[in-house]
Structure 1
């Protein structure tokens, strides 16, 4: 995941992000070092629609760089960098000139110069700008492009760049302060040569940045024009959980994208959550679906938008390069075909995901249970049926009757959420190559079939519902026969294999994947208890969250992408499943670890972080150095944990809201949504449940598990 090789054989490294400051307003973002100076290094720059618009914005005052003293986020889309400029000839060590740069994603930056000294200042201010206009795939590979020449323009004063191929352009424009502009083959400069600042006086400089592909990709998602499609809840309880939910919702607002296509002229905008910034700021089937699933307690509009964005791009034909097949759900959408290194070449519409298709069906079923209007359910149902047909047909064609993936050359080797090159290893640390049937994917397939059967039965379509029930029951038995491995000295007598290969050969070694089975229904109660014991054990529970691979196995690496690190969403999904299965002690252990970790990340949870064991004197958890932050399903994980602790399980067919709270302290949440109505739920310290705002005809059941 980190490196690629150029034509000379030299190794190129993926840029690290651990000290990068990101401001975001999808599809635009800015990645900056902590001093605010963009110098054309690593991943820094202004971006839009997967393209770097500027990689250099370097400020000089009197020929010197200001000295950085602080950085302050002003919201997901803005950040302020503060520096000082000192003069050796002054008779004081105090700063006399303060420089504040406010950078805005999708806009540009404001530079405020404040003379806080006692003498008149005559300043020579320069802002050097440059770009390579490369795509995000090249940036991720550690590749910089050739400098792009720029041209000075007037009225207003600015600089224009056009890529060597003519397929991208960008313009930077100064404000009414009318800077002098110089251009050149490697960039240009705005200059304010005689800026006078009296004592106590300030001067503001504004520079806007805009650009993108030429022409713009047709029907490509862009910035939303309407409000976020969810309600803001009022949460009272654990302060860490409150902060995690609040910060996550702020980041989710910044990660929103909108499909330019709509059902009709007056229909709502279809919004969804981009997977993550900076590498995956686009529609990702799996990631966008999981984000929408986690957000269902706050309304069904995000699920609706996500479903429609994916339904419009559902596979209709067999295409080897795109890995497309009829009914298959998109894995990722990009503006153009891109080279990702390691021989990986992906088209703009890529379907190489084995899990997005059953997850699409699950999202529709869960949105129906949370009250998605019947008109939307009925309109989306044919897409879900085609998706389920792909799942059943693909499994039927498999010699073992499992949902397995067969990657093409040049595509992703592994096609579930653990999709790195070494994502699947056995107990000896050996890489296991596909074709593989992953355990959680069988769980998704089972849950999709059972849920869609219930939805069809509620629509009076008994025969297809019964066929799906029978198929799901058969898959459940095949799973039970193939995936369990004995472990005489482990946390439980057995565990679920991460995958099985051909001939039903199981891949040994406990991994976090089995935690995602708990909510699917494919495990019986004894199986849930065995999995819970493993998730809470020191092998998988780091104390800060759930490790992706057991720490007791060869090849465990706490800072690997999928071989021992902790994924925020994976931990949250396990907590949801543990609560649903009534395994509250294990759920409490993982919840406490996740919330404590969140405090160390200022509640902006990274995509993944280190899986080192938590001890009394251990350091704080560290983000994986190239992790996306913010990231969609990480940001939504706070709401997922909130819903899990409340124990909310709506049943649209019987119009009953089951409430099975975890006994983890008092919690009250006002302002959730069920079938379009404001829902309020309170759980007292003693476990008593109060619910109000239920839709007409609905009741709630807070009985035992």
Structure 2
């Protein structure tokens, strides 16, 4: 029988990348499912089970203390007491990347002598095996006496647990099934407490060279203050807190003036590492808060840009990395990926666009000039890949044993037609053509600013040719739909469009590949109930055969996908449609306590409908979901800088008054107010760099 991926809906996760801890709500780690302490994709501890007087404490509450720490509270009661009140309280604070502390408090009126026992064990499993639902063989533990604790070691990993508090040392017992720390006589008089601190450390054997590590410097973005919609303010605030915990630093990128190159890991628990596409989107979404995150992301990927042809890694010169892991891993169902894997069709054009947009937001000229050759090599890979295709489209050609679908919808059944049939690659996805067009046009503008007019003109001509091929190929008629046509999710062999409306077309709106009429048609579809669930944008139309509100890509709502659609709708001037999607996303956020999951159910929202449910195995926190609040905020403000003219264009979408402090342009913080009461102007901007002006005509 095939093992099933562990569900995460009731798992408490605290994260401080590259470490995290996943716990059930009572705090007891029993070696089940995804439970445990982790570091660098290795499970360091899967069992940490506490017994007091031979019994498990009774859980009464769990409280997150921030993205990286959580407190579990339980009680220990005595059947022969004459009161029902608990008299021994146990607080267990678990910290990602560090360990945990246990505080035993006697709040009763009589002294207690406790027998405290902590059973510890691990399988040192790779995160890929945990994700597949596999539990490895328990690794033999070895007792250590100074300081007291336990060690585990296998060919793949190692782990250490140490008792670090002062006081009587525990008795340490080791063995093939794990080990035990025992405090046989803990005396607590009334009002007294005893604290036990444990450190948990370890990792992969051997240490992966050049692998990302925890950052040593503060987050590379400003901290905005949002006044107006309280939901939007909470979404931005909670998202940035989670992004702080998801930061990683490139150890190969700290030489330039000691500045770390930081980026955002894709998500916890499954993707706590550098992912080209995901890390790029997170950096793009945070550009209104500064360009330092974009710079770090670009450099981390530039250093690992493809330089040779390698079939197993799917590497090619100029291609941008898809995924970085400490070691090669078996992901099941024939999917085996190397530590450096390049199997994505979209990361490369997105890399180019990130550089262009960071340039417009004020990335220093020295970084722009140094990164430009990497962007040119990336664009060359895009062009060469389209030349490989007789239709001139950007397709993906996966190798056997690699990812079958290589854009953001990358599950096995990610691309299906209106009848629910799976469509196999090679495929040209609609949004990928938009990415390629946007990258070419943006890079042409950057080259023109460097006086390279001939190369800029060649890229512009190439982009216009792709735009025409797209217009001739991707539209499908729909006489009974909200608009008379829609964009096919993909084009298969022989230029056959894949039927059935899907959310992918929403990501085209901000790329420029659609004309004004095309934007209006796409907007109509995104606003229609079959795609707009009321909580956000469904990944697949609810009217299609095979729609499943809890399918990974076949009907669920993705936070980032909805935010990108809002960005595009705002840019296209489709205010009503943008406001409707944004409103749904914010209503959903309130039900998730503003920590947006990777994806959630695509059931319809109506009066009295139940709250949306997270996809059971969704990452939370997740990078581009956490960054989506800033993306929506920037979209509703209508921020669009043009560095070549030193003009900040502002076209706000009517959504109610907003005032935002702590935005950043060209290294300087500024504020924007739109529709603020008591102001004669529709837009008020303060603090722009001295050589910049504001264009809010039409606001």
TM-score by length of 2: 0.99
Q: Provide the residue aligned with 2:311 in structure 1.
A: 320
Q: Provide the residue aligned with 2:670 in structure 1.
A: 679
Which residue among 227, 230, 233 is the counterpart of 2:221?
Answer: 230
Q: Provide the residue aligned with 2:684 in structure 1.
A: 690
Q: Deviation of residue 697 (structure 1)?
A: 1.4
Alpha-carbon distance in 1 for matches of 2:398, 2:58: 51
Which residue among 144, 150, 162 is the counterpart of 1:173?
Answer: 162
Q: Provide the residue aligned with 1:704 in structure 2.
A: 698
3-state SS of the aligned residue for 2:563? helix
Q: Provide the residue aligned with 1:363 in structure 2.
A: 354
C-alpha contact (below 8 Å) 2:659/2:676 kept by paired residues: no
Which residue among 596, 608, 622 is the counterpart of 1:631?
Answer: 622
Which residue among 376, 380, 401 is the counterpart of 1:385?
Answer: 376
Alpha-carbon distance in 1 for matches of 2:684, 2:63: 41
3-state SS of the aligned residue for 2:607? coil
In the alignment, structure 1 residue 45 sits paired with structure 2 residue 41? no
Q: Provide the residue aligned with 1:18 in structure 2.
A: 9
Deviations 1:406-440 (A, max 9, x none): 11000000000000000000000000000000000
Alpha-carbon distance in 2 for matches of 1:430, 1:620: 31
1:409-424 mapped onto 2 (5 Å cutoff): 409-424=400-415
Which residue among 598, 604, 624 is the counterpart of 1:613?
Answer: 604
Q: Provide the residue aligned with 2:125 in structure 1.
A: 134
Which residue among 208, 232, 236 is the counterpart of 1:241?
Answer: 232
Alpha-carbon distance in 2 for matches of 1:355, 1:704: 34
Q: Deviation of residue 341 (structure 1)?
A: 0.7
Q: Deviation of residue 696 (structure 1)?
A: 2.1
3-state SS of the aligned residue for 1:403? coil
1:255-270 mapped onto 2 (5 Å cutoff): 255-262=246-253, 264=255, 266-270=257-261
1:182-193 mapped onto 2 (5 Å cutoff): 182-193=173-184
3-state SS of the aligned residue for 1:13? coil
Alpha-carbon distance in 2 for matches of 1:449, 1:460: 16
Alpha-carbon distance in 2 for matches of 1:199, 1:221: 48
Q: Deviation of residue 679 (structure 1)?
A: 1.3
Which residue among 200, 220, 223 is the counterpart of 2:191?
Answer: 200
Alpha-carbon distance in 2 for matches of 1:58, 1:624: 28
Which residue among 53, 56, 59 is the counterpart of 1:68?
Answer: 59
Deviations 1:4-50 (A, max 9, x none): xxxxxx11100000000000000000000000000000000000000
Which residues of structure 2 form unaligned runs of 5+? none
Alpha-carbon distance in 2 for matches of 1:237, 1:194: 57
Q: Provide the residue aligned with 1:538 in structure 2.
A: 529
Alpha-carbon distance in 2 for matches of 1:490, 1:685: 38
Alpha-carbon distance in 2 for matches of 1:531, 1:399: 27
3-state SS of the aligned residue for 2:3? strand
1:468-479 mapped onto 2 (5 Å cutoff): 468-479=459-470
Deviations 1:506-531 (A, max 9, x none): 00000000000000000001100100
Q: Deviation of residue 662 (structure 1)?
A: 0.5
1:488-527 mapped onto 2 (5 Å cutoff): 488-527=479-518
Q: Provide the residue aligned with 1:587 in structure 2.
A: 578
Question: How many residue pairs align between the two structures?
Answer: 694
Alpha-carbon distance in 1 for matches of 2:484, 2:118: 65
Q: Which moved more, 1:154-163 or 1:439-448?
A: 154-163
Deviations 1:223-257 (A, max 9, x none): 00100000101110100000000000000000000
Alpha-carbon distance in 2 for matches of 1:690, 1:117: 60
Q: After the TM superposition, which segments of 4 or more aligned residues of structure 1 sit over 3 Å from their partners?
A: none
Q: Deviation of residue 268 (structure 1)?
A: 1.0
Deviations 1:137-183 (A, max 9, x none): 000000000000001011100101001x2x31111001323111110
1:596-607 mapped onto 2 (5 Å cutoff): 596-607=587-598
Q: Deviation of residue 214 (structure 1)?
A: 2.1
Alpha-carbon distance in 2 for matches of 1:156, 1:569: 46
Alpha-carbon distance in 2 for matches of 1:478, 1:296: 31
Q: Deviation of residue 693 (structure 1)?
A: 1.2
3-state SS of the aligned residue for 1:465? helix
Which residue among 71, 75, 83 is the counterpart of 2:74?
Answer: 83
Q: Deviation of residue 262 (structure 1)?
A: 2.0
Which residue among 457, 467, 470 is the counterpart of 2:458?
Answer: 467
Q: Deviation of residue 684 (structure 1)?
A: 1.4
Alpha-carbon distance in 2 for matches of 1:61, 1:382: 62
Q: Provide the residue aligned with 1:210 in structure 2.
A: 201
Alpha-carbon distance in 2 for matches of 1:69, 1:27: 30
Alpha-carbon distance in 2 for matches of 1:641, 1:567: 14
C-alpha contact (below 8 Å) 2:37/2:43 kept by paired residues: yes
Deviations 1:179-198 (A, max 9, x none): 11110101001101000000
Q: Deviation of residue 213 (structure 1)?
A: 1.4
Alpha-carbon distance in 1 for matches of 2:668, 2:69: 34
Alpha-carbon distance in 2 for matches of 1:615, 1:673: 38
Alpha-carbon distance in 1 for matches of 2:500, 2:522: 13
Q: Deviation of residue 265 (structure 1)?
A: 5.0
